[in-house]
Amino acid sequence: MVELFISISILAIITSFSVINFNTWEKNENLRQSARLLDSNIHSVQAKSLSGEMFNGVSPSGYGAYFSNIGDASYILFADLDNDYTYDAADGEFIDTYNLTNNVLISDLTPISANGLTIVFKLPNAKIYINQNILSDSGKIELTHSITTNSKITEIRRITGRIDTQ
């Protein structure tokens, strides 16, 4: 009877560690998944710009990503139809909204303006405008899991066009 009790206790301890590790892994995976999707979406608008892809039968001046606020759990991809390097919802520039996974939020935007952060790749050579500015060296989007406080930073480098996630 004592051996049975000890065996059940050991099994219970191993199970509890497994559940805790799985929950931690799941939260970290949510953050990694959101960072990968963000990276992929920014590459997507960059590729659209390099290829000169048409948007609703019109050749836009560029394609971009718009991050409105710190603390948001979503961002917008758009086609810049009026050559102002910003997202204008009223002008029909909307492509899609992407939501971050559970408990993952945008925790920092650099550089940030009153309108958030806008990254635009201008056609035909994907020249990068960060908040309507061609002089900013890079734009950074930091994603943080609200429970674990782990974070990932995606950086868009203007001069090289590299998009890196750390």
> Over the stretch 75-95, which tens digit does the pLDDT of each residue have?
999 999 999 999 988 888 999
For domain 2-165, is the CATH number 1.10.10?
Answer: no
Q: How far is CA 3 from CA 6, 8, 11, in A?
A: 5, 9, 12
pTM of the model: 0.84
Q: Give yes or no for a cis peptide into 111 (omega within 30° of 0).
A: yes
Measure Cα distances from 64 to 46, 67, 96, 119 in Å: 8, 10, 11, 5
Distance CA 78, CA 65 (A): 6
Reported as a single tens digit per residue, the pLDDT across 91-128 is 889 999 999 988 999 999 999 888 899 999 998 887 89
- Domain residue limits, the chain: 2-165
